[in-house]
């Protein structure tokens, strides 16, 4: 590069020519830097798209498959291995190592003891000794038992509710027990059948037309329209319970929030448009385990403000743990404290590392590993103990991490994927690190994402039937089902008992039926 002294020593005409050339070189350097940043950006986006289509989406540092993908892959591999093993067994020549091979076969796990057993006897047709010139009757000295797992499709049965008629011959008065209250007045289904339909549709992702076919194979045709009527009736009856669950949620000062798109039928034209299910839940460290889903036609932050009642005198004033979606930002103006998800921040760097082998991404992931390792150590502690550990350990890691981010930002060109990942964290640093000062606030939003994942898995199997009411009913039923699940209840047993009790249960004691307070009937008795 020519120095200023050398430039001054030149004659004016030459100096002007050199300055023009230097300006052109500088302009080209700027253009090259811009083009390289654009190339890096497009390469990064292309790598993400290719990974979405051909690879995995796991964010684990040492793995490239998500649990769902790994499960599907393992199923396929297991099937192929067993098929190949069968072909090998058919073509393998017998050898002297047969007994040795049999000894090396893995021992099969015992079938569960609680399953009912049905004996299938296999006895010789003739119990006389087959030895020539003997023929005496043999005695039974023992047996060998091998067990096989059997399954029979669902079988319909009929409950005959026999109500006796009692008459007084003297006064000719007839007395009869009243008809038991039922969630569907004069309906034919038992609460067990209703619970099965609801769990199958909203937890096992079996649409009603598939259930109709399953019931037909079991020997009884139930029209899809009838099943839909049952679901609608149950949804209406369960609505007060869902409202009580939402009220319970709003009594806690730390909540998760997230949203996921679902398809909704547009009335009239048979097409679909994007609607959303919002999820709100208590943190995993909270003794009260509850999740509430809300259905809406838009992604507007107004849906969150309405759920938290931020425009009412009883506005919720706690800490909301979210991702970086801008729709949540308006809640801060209403008095809500924002705590954002450190896992979302980590995701940006993981993409750099996974797609490009970025050293910056790799080093950033090590900081996140340290932070999440501390969280695992403090997970089972009390809120105060968790805060003290975070103050002592996490704060130090974050201080070093923050300085490292600032330093790295000076070394990368503007517009690159690396600087976008860095800026994502720096712009949200206060919200991302809020967990350090509050032991009740989780480091990430992963817990609520786990609750909303079953909806993402099942949304390809169902569409809401063209109305906001249908979507809200589905969200309400799923709120109770998944709240029962995270409280380690059998969703079928929970729904069956609740539907049994709901018609006669006092409204003032509706909280007793909430999943985190519900007890098995045998436990209550």
pLDDT, tens digit (0-9, with 9 covering 90-100), for 466-476: 567 777 888 89
Distance from C-alpha of 200 to C-alpha of 491, rounded to nearest angstrom: 10
Range of weakest confidence among 82-86, 214-218, 230-234, 509-513: 82-86
Query: What confidence tier does 25 reach under pLDDT thresholds 50, 70, 90?
Result: confident
Per-residue pLDDT at 402: 96
At 82, is the pLDDT very low, low, confident or very high (cuts 50, 70, 90)? very low
87 pairs with which residues across the strands? none
Q: Which range has highest mean pLDDT (86-95, 182-191, 243-252)?
A: 243-252
As given in the structure block, the two tokens for residue 274 are 């994007």
For residue 368, pLDDT over 90 is answered with: yes
d(CA 315, CA 308): 7
| Confidence band, pLDDT 50/70/90 cuts, at residue 205 | confident
In a domain, 223, yes or no: no
- Show Cβ contacts of residue 222 under 8 Å, excluding neighbours closer than 6 positions: 211, 212, 215
Q: Which of 445, 139, 495 is nearest to 321 (CA)?
A: 445
How would residue 1 be classed by pLDDT, with cut points 50, 70 and 90?
low
Quick one: pLDDT at residue 80? 33
Position 127 in a domain = no
Would you give the DSSP letter of residue 390?
A: I
Name which residue leads in pLDDT, 521 or 405. 405
Name the pTM for this structure: 0.74
199 inside domain: no
Mean pLDDT value across residues 359-385: 94
Residues 6+ apart with CB under 8 A from 445: 256, 258, 321, 322, 323, 340, 341, 343, 344
Which whole-number Å values give the CA distances from 473 to 206, 258, 328, 465, 483, in the listed order? Answer: 16, 19, 24, 11, 16
Q: What is the mean pLDDT of residues 278-298?
A: 93
The CA angle 161-167-168, to the nearest 5 degrees, is 155
- Residue 399 maps to a domain: yes
Write down the pLDDT at residue 75: 35
What pLDDT band is residue 79 in, cutting at 50, 70 and 90?
very low
Give the model's confidence band at 267: pLDDT under 50 very low, under 70 low, under 90 confident, else very high. Answer: low
Number of domains in the chain: 1
Position 95 pLDDT exceeds 50: no
Residue 178: CA atoms inside 13 Å, Cβ hemisphere, count? 3
Q: Is residue 302 scored above 80 in pLDDT?
A: yes
**511, 313 in Cβ contact below 8 A?**
no
The verdict on residue 361 lying in a domain is yes
CA 445, CA 59: separation in Å to the nearest integer? 14
Q: Note the pLDDT of residue 88.
A: 41
Average pLDDT value for residue range 352-372: 92
SS3 content of the chain, % helix, strand, coil (to 5): 55, 10, 35
Compare 346 and 145 and report the one with higher pLDDT: 346
Q: What is the mean pLDDT of residues 379-389?
A: 94
In this predicted model, which residue has the larger pLDDT, 254 or 275?
254
Residue 401 covered by a domain = yes
pLDDT at 304: 94
**In this structure, is residue 258 part of a structural domain?**
no
Q: Which domain holds residue 366?
A: 343-442
* pLDDT value at residue 77: 33
Q: Cα–Cα distance between 110 and 39 in angstroms, integer?
A: 58
Q: What is the dihedral of CA 62, 66, 68, 74, to 10 degrees?
A: -40
| Interatomic CA distance for residues 82 and 232, integer angstroms | 45
Tens-place pLDDT, residues 433-485: 999 999 999 999 999 888 877 776 666 555 454 567 777 888 899 999 999 99
Q: Quickly state the pLDDT bin for 58 (edges 50, 70, 90).
A: very low
pLDDT, position 83: 38
Residues 400-423: what's their mean pLDDT? Answer: 91
Torsion of CA 419, 424, 427, 433, to 10 degrees: -130
b/e map 422-451, b = 16+ CB within 10 Å: bebbeebeebbbbbbebbbbbbbbbbbbbb
Q: Per the domain annotation, does 54 fall within a domain?
A: no
């Amino acid at each position: 590069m020519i120095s200023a002294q050398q430039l001054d020593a030149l004659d004016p005409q030459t100096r002007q020519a050199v300055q023009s050339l230097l300006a052109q070189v500088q302009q080209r350097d700027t253009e090259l830097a811009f083009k390289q940043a654009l190339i890096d950006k497009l390469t990064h986006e292309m790598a993400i798209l290719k990974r979405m289509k051909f690879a995995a989406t796991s964010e684990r540092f040492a793995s490239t498959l998500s649990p769902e993908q790994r499960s599907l892959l393992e199923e396929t591999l297991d099937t192929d291995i067993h098929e190949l093993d069968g072909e090998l067994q058919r073509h393998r020549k017998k050898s002297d190592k047969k007994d040795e091979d049999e000894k090396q076969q893995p021992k099969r796990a015992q079938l569960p003891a609680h399953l009912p057993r049905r004996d299938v006897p296999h006895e010789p047709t003739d119990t006389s000794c087959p030895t020539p010139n003997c023929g005496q009757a043999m005695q039974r000295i023992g047996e060998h038992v091998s067990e096989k797992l059997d399954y029979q499709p669902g079988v319909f049965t009929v409950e005959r509710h026999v109500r006796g008629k009692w008459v007084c011959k003297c006064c000719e008065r007839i007395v009869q027990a009243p008809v038991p209250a039922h969630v569907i007045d004069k309906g034919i289904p038992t609460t067990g059948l209703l619970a099965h339909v609801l769990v199958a549709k909203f937890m096992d992702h079996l649409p009603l037309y598939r259930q109709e076919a399953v019931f037909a194979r079991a020997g009884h045709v139930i029209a899809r329209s009838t099943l839909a009527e049952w679901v609608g009736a149950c949804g209406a009856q369960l609505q007060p319970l869902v409202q009580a669950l939402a009220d319970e949620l709003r009594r806690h000062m730390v909540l998760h929030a997230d949203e996921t798109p679902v398809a909704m039928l547009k009335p009239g034209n048979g097409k679909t448009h994007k609607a959303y299910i919002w999820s709100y839940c208590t943190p995993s460290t909270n003794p009260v385990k509850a999740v509430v889903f809300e259905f809406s036609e838009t992604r507007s932050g107004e849906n969150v403000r309405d759920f938290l009642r931020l425009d009412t005198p009883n506005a919720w004033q706690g800490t909301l743990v979210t991702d970086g979606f801008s729709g949540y930002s308006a809640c801060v103006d209403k008095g809500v404290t924002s705590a954002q998800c450190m896992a979302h921040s980590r995701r940006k760097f993981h993409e750099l590392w996974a797609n490009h082998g970025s050293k910056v991404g790799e080093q950033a992931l090590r900081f996140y590993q340290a932070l999440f390792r501390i969280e695992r150590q403090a997970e089972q502690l009390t809120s105060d103990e968790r805060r003290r550990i975070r103050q002592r350990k996490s704060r130090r890691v974050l201080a070093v991490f923050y300085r490292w981010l600032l330093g790295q930002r000076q070394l990368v060109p503007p517009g690159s994927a690396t600087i976008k990942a860095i800026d994502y964290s720096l712009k949200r640093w206060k919200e991302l690190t809020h967990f350090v000062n509050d032991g009740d606030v989780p480091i990430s939003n992963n817990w609520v994402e786990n609750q909303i994942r079953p909806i993402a898995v099942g949304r390809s199997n169902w569409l809401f039937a063209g109305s906001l009411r249908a979507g809200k009913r589905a969200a309400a039923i799923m709120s109770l089902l998944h709240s029962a699940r995270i409280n380690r209840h059998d969703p079928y047993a929970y729904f069956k008992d609740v539907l049994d009790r709901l018609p006669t249960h006092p409204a003032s004691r509706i909280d007793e039926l909430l999943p985190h307070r519900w007890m098995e009937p045998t436990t209550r008795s």
